[in-house]
């Protein structure tokens, strides 16, 4: 990760997504933040329930000049499960950067995170020929 041109993608939900995004931005490299819903809906669904500190983190990340926010398009807004579609958009963006794809996930390995969750994205990265690092918060 010493390449200054290296880029990253993040779903910017509370927890590992935002922790990764904040640390990545400290390197001065570009980040694409992918949102499956409009900002206020996304905050209610994926950030605010965890507390206002996460909301503040979200706003710091998406307003950073190194971040480009990729919001939901009209098609995604009609989906019942935009989170899986958002994961696939992030994976496609990573492919377009060229080079190897590496997913870093803060995850305890449990499969209960549902469609569009960590397990789904980690599996998609592996299926695409990428590699995955799991950081288990319980170890």
Query: How do residues 2-24 score in pLDDT, each as one tens digit?
Result: 677 788 999 999 999 999 999 99
Output the pLDDT for position 139.
87
Domain that holds residue 86: 8-99
The reply to whether 133 falls in a domain is: no
The reply to whether 44 falls in a domain is: yes
pLDDT confidence bin for 32, thresholds 50/70/90: very high
- Whole-number Å distance between alpha carbons of 13 and 16: 8
The reply to whether 124 falls in a domain is: no
The reply to whether 34 falls in a domain is: yes
Q: The sheet that has 67-70: what strands, in order across it?
A: 8-10, 31-34, 67-70
The sign of the torsion formed by the CA atoms of 20, 95, 65, 51 equals negative
**Model-level pTM?**
0.90
Angle separating helix axes 118-127 and 82-97, nearest 10 degrees: 40
The reply to whether 89 falls in a domain is: yes
The reply to whether 128 falls in a domain is: no
Q: How many domains does the chain have?
A: 1
**Which tokens belong to 8?**
């990253």
- Taking only the tens place, the pLDDT of each residue in 38-89 is 999 999 999 999 999 999 999 999 999 999 999 998 999 999 889 999 999 9
Output the pLDDT for position 113.
67
The reply to whether 18 falls in a domain is: yes
The reply to whether 1 falls in a domain is: no
Q: Do residues 96 and 69 lie in contact, with contact meaning Cβ atoms separated by under 8 Å?
A: no
């Amino acid at each position: 990760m010493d390449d200054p041109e290296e880029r990253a993608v993040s779903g910017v939900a509370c927890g590992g997504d935002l922790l990764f995004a904040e640390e990545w931005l400290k390197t001065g490299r570009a980040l694409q933040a992918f949102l499956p819903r409009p900002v206020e809906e996304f905050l209610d669904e994926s950030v605010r329930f965890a507390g206002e500190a996460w909301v503040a983190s979200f706003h710091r990340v998406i307003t950073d000049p190194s971040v480009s926010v990729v919001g939901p398009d009209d098609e995604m807004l009609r989906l019942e499960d935009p989170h899986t579609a958002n994961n696939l958009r992030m994976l496609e963006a990573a492919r377009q950067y060229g080079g190897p794809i590496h997913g870093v996930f803060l995850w305890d390995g449990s499969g209960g995170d549902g469609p569009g969750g960590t397990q789904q994205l980690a599996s998609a990265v592996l299926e695409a020929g990428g590699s995955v690092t799991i950081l288990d918060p319980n170890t």
